[in-house]
Chains A and B, each alone.
Chain A
């Protein structure tokens, strides 16, 4: 068996071993697996690059271009690793729209003064994957009379792991940002509507115009 053919056989064995060594990643969650693979690929690329230097100094046979194979592999793995890590970083920091509208406990039932609704995050956001939630909530008057949609005051209270945080009061259609950092299991948002006594008979429905999780 010549030097060149020996090198190719070794390369095939290494490729199979590499593929088999990646098998445990398939048992992980896709997002975790991709992050882990991305993170491991960078030191692997560095190791391959270092190995290429060792093979050069060891004066290995010129019949099979080990050094070139190692350098090309290192570059390919490094590029893939950087792309994967970059993707993972973006996925973990980008703003996330959350569909809270289907989880309003007061849905379909008009609110009156003092009415409370609890906004519940969907299963995939328990606990929420970002530290802040920005919300815009508007009201719809269910009657033909009354100036109810803009005259209310809304209290937004973050509830982290069952514990109520500081309330923030804003007018409807006004952006409000609530801190959700530190929630270990689940976060909710309690919304309370207030009217001046003269508008206490107002009856309104709530609508979530915007709900974005962000850091």
Chain B
């Protein structure tokens, strides 16, 4: 009788151990190493110097997300026009590179956020700063933007004055074209322009020249990756609420007021479980 009781007890213990072993084999949400698409030439946001060292708000955010979600981020250069393609073909598993949330992109990828708000502005040579006081002063000028960016669409459709558009792969090429006199103006998100001006004393950003819709940056993911989307969304909310957002902003853009750029942590976009067919 005693033997039977002991056997049943041993069997129960073995079953409990087996069951707990089964439940503990749950896969982690992220692999130990994650390729993250980063901008290579946006000072203050995503910048890689000649030694390969990266810096900027997006770089800091990437590192922080890695530490919070237990993965080692490997930053991979992405250019604006290839970000959706790189996510779709798994060249990168995530994009943190001034990636604006847009309806057009949301049909192809998921973008969690926003973690930043800005509006489109312009950058001109400092010696020409007096010529640019309003959007109307851009009439007839040559404007440099990156291919495939929302900035390109807004210069085409929302600027309201006729300009000549020159497209480059990255904004660093636009900045060089500005100094070379090949273009009159560089146009993109004001926060990106402030970042460029941080390392270039020869440029000015007319604060009053803004146009188009608000740009909201988010973290790009493959479409339908709802589990990771929810995890990142929760971390972004914490990032904004706990004050780390302010620290990163002030550290990377010390001369810019953060208030109008901080998003509402309670109004982050909903994660989608399946590809949108609309």
> A interface vs B, CB < 8 Å?
138, 140-141, 143-150, 196, 198-202, 207
Contacts and interface: CB of A to CB of B under 8 A. Distances in A.
B223 to A, nearest CB: 15
Contacts of B104: 141, 143-145
A149 B103 contact: yes
B214 A145 contact: no
Given A140-B278, A198-B119, A201-B158, A147 B216 contact: yes
B42 interface: no
Interface string B188-225: 00000000000000000000000011101000000000
Contacts of A145: 100, 102, 104, 150-151, 153-154, 157-158, 212-213
A38 B199 CA distance: 87
Given A143-B157, A144-B150, A146-B150, A198 B103 contact: no
B interface: dominant SS? mixed
Contacts of A202: 213
Contacts of B150: 144-146
Q: Which of A144, A146, A150 has the most CB of B within 10 A?
A: A146
Contacts of B269: 150
A10 to B, nearest CB: 68
22 contacts: A141-B103, A141-B104, A143-B104, A144-B102, A144-B150, A145-B102, A145-B104, A145-B153, A145-B154, A145-B158, A145-B213, A146-B213, A147-B100, A147-B102, A147-B103, A147-B106, A150-B269, A150-B270, A196-B214, A198-B117, A199-B213, A201-B213
Contacts of A200: 213
Interface in B117-164: 117, 119, 150-151, 153-154, 157-158
Contacts of B153: 143-145
Given A138-B278, A150-B269, A199 B214 contact: yes
B117 A146 contact: no
B109 interface: no
A207 B277 CA distance: 14
Q: Which of A140, A141, A198, A207 has the most CB of B within 10 A?
A: A198
B101 interface: yes
B229 to A, nearest CB: 15
B278 A146 contact: no
Given A145-B153, A145-B154, A201 B278 contact: no
Contact of A198 (B213, B270, B278): B213
A202 B278 CA distance: 18
A140 B107 CA distance: 11
A138 B277 CA distance: 12
Nearest to A150: B269
Contacts of B154: 145
A196 B150 CA distance: 19
B112 to A, nearest CB: 13
A202 B157 CA distance: 11
Given A138-B278, A140-B278, A198-B213, A146 B119 contact: no
A201 B104 CA distance: 16
A104 B198 CA distance: 50
List 10 A-B pairs, minimum CB-CB distance, nearest first. Answer: A198-B214, A145-B150, A145-B153, A141-B103, A146-B213, A144-B153, A149-B103, A144-B104, A147-B101, A201-B213
Nearest to B160: A201
Given A140-B103, A198-B117, 17 more contacts: A140-B278, A141-B103, A143-B104, A145-B100, A145-B153, A145-B154, A146-B102, A146-B103, A146-B150, A146-B213, A147-B103, A147-B213, A147-B216, A150-B103, A198-B214, A201-B213, A207-B278
